[in-house]
């Protein structure tokens, strides 16, 4: 009898179980509370419970800072894999995967537009592209941002989020430290303001070059900033490091930073800072 038989809508065993709510919630690494992803995005990816600053992609950072109508520039550069490098997988394959994942050619985005009423040049790093590592394309793109600031005398903002130099490009990646530093030297000689914003993480050759060369060096709360990581330092000196070592607040207390600025206050802070720096 049909009373005891399921004639349609049979239950089918799905070998690949899918959860419809997967990805809708995010667990805060600091307070451990679950956050609705839409709420997190609406709150500029800052935990509404404890203020933890989650990572943010480069294009969203630019969109939050610049007025509508800004322009993305210098997006056409692509790495040529100068060493034909292979480790666990070919570098060309890593590049292709990162490009497909992020929609970018490399770990950097340049933009020109207005911050409030002021013209500005922004160069923002993309951490999800091979850890925001700095190769020849990143170095050239940032150098072009510096050149734009020199040409237009518009202030420069570089937003760092990087694990350091891209070792798959060998010496070509390390040369970018000197290349960008020399360009920033010309910017300083021309008295064009440059603010460096460090986000989590800013390490390696990026910290050892342009990230620490700002007229004003600022950071987001809780960002890891340093050359080598704390675990490497502990293993090297065989000593326990202080609580919060290499975090923004620790560096501010010890004179390595000029300010720690929460993300929601950043735009207003930059408007004021560029105002008195350009006066």
What's the fold here for domain 56-278? 2-enoyl-CoA Hydratase; Chain A, domain 1 (3.90.226)
276 is in an annotated binding site: no
Q: Give the contacts of 36 (CB within 8 A, at least 6 positions apart).
A: 24, 25
Give residue 279's pLDDT: 76
φ, ψ (nearest 5 deg) of residue 59: -70, -35
How many helices (DSSP H) and strands (DSSP E) are in the chain?
A: 9, 9
Q: Which residue has the higher pLDDT, 147 or 82?
A: 147
Residue 59: which of 144, 125, 113, 115 has the closest Cα?
125
**Could you read off the pLDDT of 26-50 as tens digits, one per residue?**
999 999 999 999 999 999 999 999 9
> Which residue matches tokens 């480069």?
58
In this predicted model, what pLDDT tens digit does every residue of 156-212 receive, in sequence order?
999 999 999 999 999 999 999 999 999 999 999 999 999 999 999 999 999 999 999
End-to-end Cα, the chain, rounded Å: 88
Q: What is the mean pLDDT of the chain?
A: 93
Q: Is 50 annotated as a binding residue?
A: yes
Residue 122 to residue 115: CA distance in whole angstroms: 10
pLDDT band at 11 (very low <50, low <70, confident <90, very high): low
Annotated binding-site residue? 84: no
- The pTM score is 0.90
Q: What are the residue ranges of CATH 3.90.226.10 in the chain?
A: 56-278
Structure confidence at residue 230 as a pLDDT band (50, 70, 90) = confident
> Which helix (H) or strand (E) segment is 4 a member of?
none
Based on C-alpha coordinates, what's the Rg of the chain?
22
Distance CA 208, CA 222 (A): 19
What band does 137 get if pLDDT is binned at 50, 70 and 90? Answer: very high
Q: How many Cβ atoms from other residues are within 10 Å of residue 271's Cβ? A: 15
238 has pLDDT over 70: yes
Average the pLDDT over 238-255 and give the result: 94
Q: What is the distance between the alpha carbons of residues 82 and 246, in angstroms, rounded to a whole number?
A: 33
Give the pLDDT score at 66: 98
Question: What pLDDT sits at residue 80?
Answer: 86
CB contact burial 246-262 (16+ within 10 A = b; e otherwise): bbbebbbeeebbbebbe
pLDDT at 3: 58
Residue 99 structure tokens: 């490009």
Tell whether 259 is in a known binding site.
no
């Amino acid at each position: 009898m049909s009373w005891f038989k399921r004639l349609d809508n049979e239950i089918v065993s799905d070998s690949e179980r899918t959860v419809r709510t997967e990805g809708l919630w995010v667990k805060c690494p600091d307070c451990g509370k679950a956050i609705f992803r839409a709420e997190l995005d609406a709150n500029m990816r800052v935990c509404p419970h404890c203020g933890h600053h989650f990572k943010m992609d480069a294009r969203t950072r630019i969109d939050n800072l610049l007025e509508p109508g800004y322009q993305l520039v210098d997006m056409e550069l692509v790495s040529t894999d100068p060493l034909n490098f292979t480790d666990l997988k070919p570098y060309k394959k890593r590049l292709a995967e990162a490009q497909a994942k992020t929609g970018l050619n490399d770990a950097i985005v340049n933009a020109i537009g207005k911050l409030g009423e002021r013209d500005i040049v922004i160069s923002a790093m993309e951490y999800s592209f091979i850890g925001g590592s700095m190769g020849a394309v990143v170095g050239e793109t940032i150098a072009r941002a510096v050149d734009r600031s020199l040409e237009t005398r518009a202030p420069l903002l570089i937003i760092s989020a990087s694990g350091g130099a891209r070792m798959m490009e060998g010496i070509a990646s390390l040369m970018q430290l000197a290349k960008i530093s020399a360009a920033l030297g010309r910017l300083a000689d021309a008295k064009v303001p440059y603010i460096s914003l460090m986000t989590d993480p800013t390490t390696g050759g990026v910290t050892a070059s342009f990230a620490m060369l700002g007229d004003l060096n600022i950071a987001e709360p809780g960002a890891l900033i340093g050359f080598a990581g704390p675990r490497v330092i502990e293993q090297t000196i065989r000593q326990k490091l202080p609580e919060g070592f290499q975090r923004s607040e620790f560096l501010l207390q010890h004179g390595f930073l000029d300010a720690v600025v929460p993300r929601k206050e950043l735009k207003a802070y930059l408007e004021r800072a560029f105002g008195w720096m350009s006066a």
